[in-house]
Amino acid sequence: MASLGGKVAIITGASGGIGRAIAERLAKDGATVVINYGRSAEEAENLVQFIKANGGQSLAVQADISKRADIRNLFQQTIEKFSQLDILVNNAGIANAAPVADVTEEQFDQVFAVNVRGVLFTLQEAARHINNGGRIVNVSSSTTLYPAAGLAVYIASKAAVNSFTEVLALELGERRITVNSVVPGPTTPGMFAKRSIEEQQAAAASSPFGRIGRAEDIADVVAFLVSEESRWITGQHIVANGGARF
């Protein structure tokens, strides 16, 4: 796979889990990585130091992705520090579990503020600032394919992300910018780590590989989607779930 040397990447929600694995992989491939975090300042700074210790360049920027002003600041700091933007990975997301009959306005607003509003306005800033030939990857969820009871609001938010992906791919194609989503199945570390042991065992059993995903499994797919080799792939949803139907 071609080097990402000379490329600058923003990764939202990158201080831990899948986001951290993506940051480490893109830095390993040569990209300068901007680590966005919400509250985990220590974890974000530790990641920056890890990347630098391994010969990479990195910067941590706090931004609440539910707030448009914070999103603008994230992009402004990136451009001011590194003078360019080539890659955006929209990884930040939250989930609240509740049956449809019990969903509160607060739960709905919390999830959609980050997963839909935040992604939309992050994509808007990327469309304005990313270089021609750039790469945008949105992290979706296999629950859009295999729904689970109690996750209606989360699933709906990720379905919106899939729609943003398809539309923005059409809008940015003239600039040779690809826009895709990666669709992880059950993965740890990540949100699925909070599920019960029984659910994790069931998810592992549903894959022909007999395990659930690892964060680096997803990071490797993202690394391909932001590479030059992915130039003919856009508006697509790449399912990375180990063949699990879960």
In a domain, 2, yes or no: no
Contact between 139 and 182 (Cβ < 8 Å)? yes
In this structure, the number of other CB atoms found within 10 A of the CB of residue 169 comes to: 19
Instruction: Find the CATH number of the domain harbouring 98.
Output: 3.40.50.720
- For the stretch 29-67, pLDDT in tens is 999 999 999 999 999 999 999 999 999 999 999 999 999
**Tens digit of pLDDT for each residue in 99-134?**
999 999 999 999 999 999 999 999 999 999 999 999
What are 138's strand-pairing partners? Answer: 90, 181
Average pLDDT value over all residues in the chain: 95
Per the structure, the complete domain to which residue 162 belongs is given by 8-240
Q: Are 125 and 169 within 8 A, CB to CB?
A: no
pLDDT at 197: 84
Instruction: Indicate the pLDDT class of residue 166, thresholds 50, 70 and 90.
Output: very high
3 within some domain: no
How much is the pLDDT for 2? 57
Cα 184 from chain centroid (whole Å): 10
- Catalytic residue check, 37: no
The answer to whether residue 226 sits within a structural domain is: yes
Active-site choice (75, 112, 121, 154): 154
Q: How many domains does the chain have?
A: 1
Q: What share of the chain has pLDDT > 70, as a percent?
A: 98
- The answer to whether position 245 is within a domain reads no
Does residue 1 lie in a domain region?
Answer: no
